[in-house]
């Protein structure tokens, strides 16, 4: 059985569809999750999709992914700019990591220009709206296939 792709979402992403729709759109997190599962199924993959407003919970899920994930897609939300704990947890993963953001943090407030995740990310995706999630599933599939040695 192939390990799933973990898709982890940080603080306030549970409010998608209501939170600053001029930045994040009107799509709910449940709709984003459905689009990830749909894209993963089309690629023959599974997704473990989670969201938490608590840094420690996200760290625990990253620890779970050490042995349980084929790849990590993470949108840490505001924790992107503050969490050394998430950085340190991600350093333990041997699978590809995609840092994902709905908006483009580089076009926003200066404090959002710094990411603690980028140094350990295999790739970053931002500014594609919630449509970036299924694209990240495709990109992860490509990264995992590329990393797997040919038999």
At residue 146, does pLDDT exceed 80? yes
Residues listed for the chain: 151
At residue 151, does pLDDT exceed 60? no
Chain segment 49-107, per-residue pLDDT in tens: 999 999 999 999 999 999 999 999 999 998 998 899 999 999 999 999 999 999 877 76
User: Which carries the bigger pLDDT value, residue 16 or residue 88?
Assistant: 88
**The CATH number of 5-147 is which of 1.10.510.10, 3.40.50.9100, 3.40.50.720, 3.30.200.20?**
3.40.50.9100
- pLDDT given for residue 67 in this prediction: 95
User: Which carries the bigger pLDDT value, residue 17 or residue 23?
Assistant: 17
- pLDDT given for residue 109 in this prediction: 67
Give catalytic residues, as residue numbers: 24, 101
| Domain layout of the chain by residue ranges | 5-147
- DSSP letter (8 states) at residue 26: S
Closest CA to 115 of 103, 102, 106, 127: 106
The C-alpha atoms of residue 79 and residue 85 are separated, in whole angstroms, by: 10
- pLDDT given for residue 111 in this prediction: 66
Closest CA to 124 of 134, 142, 111, 136: 136
pTM (two decimals): 0.92
Rounded alpha-carbon distances, angstroms, from residue 65 to 49, 105, 106: 12, 26, 28
Chain segment 110-133, per-residue pLDDT in tens: 766 678 999 999 999 999 999 999
| DSSP code per residue over 44-93 | T--EEEEE-S-HHHHHHHHHHHHHH-SEEEEE-GGGGGT-HHHHHHHTT-
- DSSP letter (8 states) at residue 103: S
């Amino acid at each position: 059985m192939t390990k799933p792709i973990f898709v982890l979402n940080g603080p306030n992403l549970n409010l998608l569809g209501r939170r600053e729709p001029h930045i994040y759109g009107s799509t709910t997190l449940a709709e984003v999750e459905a689009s990830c599962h749909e894209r993963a199924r089309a690629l023959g993959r599974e997704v473990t999709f989670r969201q938490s407003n608590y840094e420690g919970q996200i760290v625990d899920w990253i620890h779970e992914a050490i042995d349980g994930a084929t790849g990590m897609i993470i949108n840490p939300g505001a924790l992107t700019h503050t969490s050394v704990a998430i950085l340190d947890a991600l350093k333990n993963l041997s699978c590809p990591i995609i840092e994902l953001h709905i908006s483009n943090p580089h076009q926003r407030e200066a404090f959002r220009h710094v990411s603690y995740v980028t140094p350990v990310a295999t790739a970053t995706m931002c500014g594609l709206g919630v449509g970036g999630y299924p694209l990240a599933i495709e990109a992860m599939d490509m990264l995992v296939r590329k990393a797997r040695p040919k038999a």
